[in-house]
Amino acid sequence: MNNNALQALTERIALEYFQRPFQHRAYFNSRLRTTGGRYLLGSHDIEVNPKQYVAFGEAALVDIIKHELCHYYLHLDGKGYQHRDKDFKCLSQQVGAPRFCTPIQSYESRANYVYQCQSCHARYMRIRKVNTLRMRCGKCGGKLVDITNKDK
């Protein structure tokens, strides 16, 4: 699927689910990493992560587009377009737009660091490095030790 096909799909979904035309651009953005798509407030364009299409197919793409179109129409109407707003939650439910997309990689596969508590031996996986002098175990308050190199 290319950007033209994505634009046509977005326009079709807008008419089918929202009964309104989509008058801006929808395109793939391969730099998106942790999100399925995003609505741009300034330009009113919709960006979609192409990895979602490759991993999960057109059905996932339709769900992402419906979610982003909820942001789009609510923002244009001057209503609450953020995830926490009642207007957004109502519209999402009406059109069957999911709150989140399916992650491409699990958290465990993305984690680069593993920490273990010295007291209770609880393990914590983290994507980013943690300052072990400031952070403590969430279960017992014990000291954390980086055991990343020992596990991987």
**Binding site residues, as ranges?**
67, 71
- Report the candidate in 147, 150, 152 with the shortest Cα–Cα distance to residue 123: 147
Catalytic residue among 11, 16, 68, 108: 68
11 is catalytic: no
State the distance between the two ends of the chain, measured CA to CA, in whole angstroms: 37
Q: How far apart are CA 22 and CA 14, in angstroms?
A: 6
Structure tokens at 27: 């395109």
Task: Return binding residues for Zn(2+).
Answer: 67, 71
Q: Active-site residue numbers?
A: 68
